[in-house]
Amino acid sequence: MSLHPEAASMLEALNSGFPDVTTVPPPELRDVIRSRRAPLQHLPAMREVHDLTIDGPGGALALRIYRPESTEPELPVVVFAHGGGFVFCDLDSHDEFCRSMAEGVGVVVVSVDYRLAPEHRAPAAHEDMYAALEWAADNATTYGGDRSRIVLAGDSAGGNLAATVAIAARDNGGPAVFGQALFYPVIDDDFDTESYRKFGSGYYNTTKAMKWYWEQYAPDGTDDARVVPTRTGSLAGLPAAVVITAELDPPCSSGDDYAERLAAAGVRVRHRRFDGLFHGFLTFPSLSLTESARQEIWKMMRGLFD
């Protein structure tokens, strides 16, 4: 492991400043995290941004749609689920990231404000993401999107939702999914992998926190492919994938393994592990290493459409 000095400095700040999520009631935790955010800068600028509400399986479901500047009449569509341990974060927490993705990949991004745990347990978030996919397939053209090129994407817990919805769409005859992009995804609840053993504490995201997230989201178990993608009978026939992992992240080994399983099942996979980086690094634009990583990932995502 080679830890960049700037990454080490940021890890020190995160370890000392981020709350112990296991000690704070979820509603209060959301308020604490929200209070620490900088005001939205609305950058990079988009051609259009729309906030709207659709009918979801649990009631009103909020979406935010980003359309970048482009001369193309129809752009591919990314349906995106934010991270946050299934418990916190929202449309605003990932606003800058979605804008960067829309501009960098050249896509319309549909960001999904899915229901959060523990008030809404699994598979509520999965169901909301699936509803957003269906909505995008029916309405993407209204916002300059190409319904024949829809990619499911998400970071952390959102990566889990993207992966499980790709499986559900395949199995249930749902909308055609062109690709999936999983950023340091939370694939399963196996806490005995190499990365959990090596990096389970001291690297911002911890084993203790990950166990707590799973307890909030799936207290009744994880033997369901809507909760853990590897519970499906087969990964064959899934859409092409971009899988991004971070070396210092406890779920890293599971993400690496999932990329290997997809490839073994005949799925076209682009996999990149970023050594010396930690969980969530893509949503820290102040980290100088982040922009170059993003540009590499945006290129990988553009490759999905080749």
Neighbours of 227 (CB within 10 A): 24
Q: Which domain holds residue 155?
A: 5-303
CATH of the domain at 269: 3.40.50.1820
The string over 249-281, giving b where at least 16 C-beta atoms fall within 10 Å of a residue's C-beta and e elsewhere, is bbbbbbbbbbbeebbeeebebbbebbeebbbbb
| Alpha-carbon dihedral angle through residues 141, 294, 226, 139, given to the nearest 10 degrees | -10
Token code pair at residue 272: 């990149």
Residues 25-75: pLDDT tens digits? 999 999 999 999 999 999 999 999 999 999 999 999 999 999 999 999 999
Q: What does the alpha-carbon distance between residue 90 and residue 277 come to, in Å, rounded to a whole number?
A: 23
Task: Give me the active site residues, please.
Answer: 156
Cα(285)–Cα(185) distance, integer angstroms:
19
When the pLDDT of each residue in the chain is averaged and rounded to a whole number, the result is 97
Q: What is the pLDDT of residue 4?
A: 86
Q: How far apart are CA 79 and CA 153, in angstroms?
A: 6
Tens of pLDDT, residue by residue over 90-126, are 999 999 999 999 999 999 999 999 999 999 999 999 9
Structure confidence at residue 3 (pLDDT): 84
Angle formed at CA 15 by CA 12 and CA 19, multiple of 5 degrees:
150
Q: What is the number of H-type helices and E-type strands within the chain?
A: 9, 8
Residue bearing tokens 């249930």:
172
Residue 247 Cα distances to 109, 141, 272, angstroms: 27, 38, 10
Q: What is the pTM of this model?
A: 0.98
Q: Is the dihedral angle over the CA atoms 83, 87, 91, 94 positive or is it negative?
A: negative
- What per-residue confidence (pLDDT) applies to 235? 98
Report in angstroms the alpha-carbon separations of 237 from 5, 168, 270: 42, 12, 16
Please tell me whether residue 246 adopts helix, strand or coil conformation.
strand
What confidence tier does 2 reach under pLDDT thresholds 50, 70, 90?
confident
DSSP state of 129: H
Domain total in the chain:
1
Closest CA to 71 of 144, 154, 139: 144
